[in-house]
Chains A and B, each alone.
Chain A
Amino acid sequence: MNESTLKTPMIKMIPIFIMGQKYEVPAELTIMKAMEYAGYKFIRGCGCRGGICGACSTVYRKPGDYKIHTGLACQTVIEPEMYLTQLPFYPALKATYDVSTMQGIATEIFEAYPELFRCVACNACTKVCPMDVKVMDYIAYLKRGDIEAAARASFDCIQCGLCASRCMGELPQYHIAQMARRLWGAKLTPRAQHLAEMVLKIEQGLFGELIAKLETTDTAELKKLYNAREMEPAMSRNEWKPSKDNVGLR
């Protein structure tokens, strides 16, 4: 598609360099759509196309700028003369562990990922993160044993692996963060009491008859019940209780 004869009139075309080779593509496209426009068919390097799966991390440079820039191909709009390549895969070892038998203490993370302490705070990870996660900071939190802070700081991670690709300490940051989030969720936040109670009520069969009856109710009658539902107000607080429609509560 780099032949000028193929240019569609009316659409502004700009040059980009895909793995060093020049293509003229419509100026408004994302990197992903520009690569497809240029004739690439993705197998790797393309996943959700919505900015959340981490399949299409892309590294690029711009003329007159020594900086390494990164972005998700499906989310980043092309710029004239950008030099880009995708990072479809980057090896990073994941430790295996059994969350159910763990305590949720920092030592468990240190044992799974002793390389954590190879971080020299160079900040390359944070600089390349396409989600603006402060990667170096969450690694710093973990070194000082603060799992909660690391879980919160890494929450937006999409596990694309760019951080690991740039790490001079050779850390698999995103795997370490995943472990921290799981320990935080499973061991360091209180369990939902109401949830356990509801599961118990269901196991005790408190709703069995009610629902069995609904299953055999004819549509006309079901519609009546549906229309008569008492709606929890949009801005209510959690404590809200239905005033009349209690038939389904146990």
Chain B
Amino acid sequence: MKIAYYPGCTLKTRAKNLEDAALAALRVLGIAAVELPRWNCCGAVYSLTDDDLIHQVAPVRDLIRVKEQGAETVMTLCSMCYNTLARANRLMREDEEKRHTLNTFMDEEPDYHGEVEVHHLLTLLRDRIGWKTLAAKVRRPLTGLKVAPYYGCTLVRPRPVSIDPRPDQPTILDDFLRALGAEPVDYPARIECCGAYNILSEPDAAHRASANVLASAERHGAELVITSCPLCEYNLGTCQNQVLPHGEGLRPLPTLYFSQLLALALGVGNEELGLELSPASSLKLVAERISPIHQA
């Protein structure tokens, strides 16, 4: 299967491990992710200002790039890019007036009406591959590993772009983990906010939010938290040392991108996982808790 792929900027810099692992896993799954030859930043968070259409220009332009390639579907890995592109796409489908304004503004581009489908890798795995098929391709089953699926905000909110039909009780990451042989941990903070961009202006507030998520996962027995957003990963993983003092008795908890866990389970070599960008505790976990490749 061939699919147009929109990476997003962070996956080319800080979050290379999200991308590298995903691309390696996709090769195993026989999916050719073709990076768009031209793309720009998605806007890096969907604009919530009602009359600020200019912020829709960036994501819509990327959708036009997809259409220009003759592709019907575009895949994203970063949940923030997913959210921004999917919401801009919806706007272009549903809001005739704004669609007209944007198309007129971008008069150097072909008109766009929301023709493209925006997917996240998780929905592709669910809808195009299927959990059963995925499970059959696992070479390093994660049996017994207790993993906290962290959805955060942008995979499931707002409702119309949620990758799960039940945004308040999503199961897609749980199903994903089961397919890999891991044991998903049910914990209340799974769809709570990590602190997001507060990390820039109010780091303490962000750390408190992150501490809440980590503490909740830990209390319910998680050995590992998986994320799908570079900002969540940054807050929960990269900044964890600053987060720990904000939660009583909080101990280091490994974090990984879902794509890294996917690649691991599919038997991709550790050197392709970008583990060096992940927290040290995650590295240790991979070394100690994940069994060597299962010889089929």
Which residues of A approach B to under 8 Å, CB–CB? 106, 117, 119-123, 127, 136-137, 139-140, 143-146, 168
Contacts and interface: CB of A to CB of B under 8 A. Distances in A.
Interface string B44-72: 10000000001101100100000000000
Given A136-B40, A137-B40, A143-B41, A120 B13 contact: no
Contact of B43 (A120, A127, A136, A145): A120
A103 to B, nearest CB: 14
Given A123-B108, A143-B41, 13 more contacts: A121-B57, A121-B61, A122-B105, A123-B61, A136-B40, A140-B40, A144-B7, A144-B8, A144-B9, A144-B10, A144-B12, A144-B13, A145-B9
Interface in B1-56: 7-10, 12-13, 38-41, 43-44, 54-55
A57 B10 CA distance: 35
Contacts of B129: none
A145 B41 contact: no
A140 B9 CA distance: 8
Nearest to A107: B13
Contacts of B13: 106, 144-145
Nearest to B44: A117
B39 A140 contact: yes
B85 to A, nearest CB: 13
B106 interface: yes
Nearest to A116: B41
Interface of B: 7-10, 12-13, 38-41, 43-44, 54-55, 57-58, 61, 105-106, 108
Contacts of B40: 119, 121, 136-137, 139-140, 143
Contacts of B57: 120-123
Contacts of B12: 144-146
Given A140-B41, A144-B9, A121 B58 contact: yes
Contact of A119 (B7, B41, B108): B41
Nearest to A110: B13
Nearest to B105: A122
Given A144-B9, A145-B12, A127 B108 contact: yes
A122 B54 contact: yes
Contacts of A121: 40-41, 43, 57-58, 61
Contacts of B8: 144
Contacts of B39: 140
A120 B9 contact: no
A192 B137 CA distance: 48
Contacts of A106: 13
Contact of B54 (A136, A137, A145, A168): A168
Nearest to B38: A137
Contacts of B9: 140, 143-145
